[in-house]
Amino acid sequence: MGEVRVLFFASASEAAGCAEATVPCEEGGIRESLLWERLLAKHPSLASLRGSVRIAKNCEYLAADGELHPGDEAALIPPVSGG
């Protein structure tokens, strides 16, 4: 099985206590729900953010039916507050 790298930013990195994680990923791809399941197994402290965090894949927001594949760079994007 391959892997997806997941970057944490802002409140997500605070909650996880680290800046990134790797998550196992089948060649056929995984959906957001499975990504969360595997992430929370490693970092249960991220659970409270799940409702507000969006997932990015390779610097684009992941569509609701989007899939992650091995080698993708994912990111947890908490509500942004630039400017």
Partner 1 sequence: MDVRIQFTDQKIGPSNPATTDGAGAVVEFLGVVRGVERDAKISGLVYEIYEPMADRMVRRIVEELDASYPCLTFQLVHRHGFVPVGEAAIHLRIEAPHRTEAIRMLEHFMNRLKTDVPIWKSGFVPC
The answer to whether 55 and 73 are in contact (CB under 8 A) is no
Separation of first and last alpha carbons in the chain: 40
Footprint of partner 1 on 41-70 (CB under 8 A): 56, 59-61
CA distances from 48 to 14, 21, 27 (A): 12, 17, 29
Q: Which is nearer to partner 1, 1 or 59 (CB)?
A: 59
Q: How far apart are CA 4 and CA 71, in angstroms?
A: 5
The answer to whether 20 and 27 are in contact (CB under 8 A) is no
Q: Which is nearer to partner 1, 24 or 53 (CB)?
A: 53
Interaction between residue 81 and partner 1 (CB under 8 A): yes
CB of 59 vs partner 1, minimal distance in Å: 4
- How many chain residues are in contact with partner 1, going by CB under 8 A? 16
- Please give the residue ranges that form the binding site for partner 1 (CB under 8 A): 7, 9-11, 14, 56, 59-61, 75, 77-78, 80-83
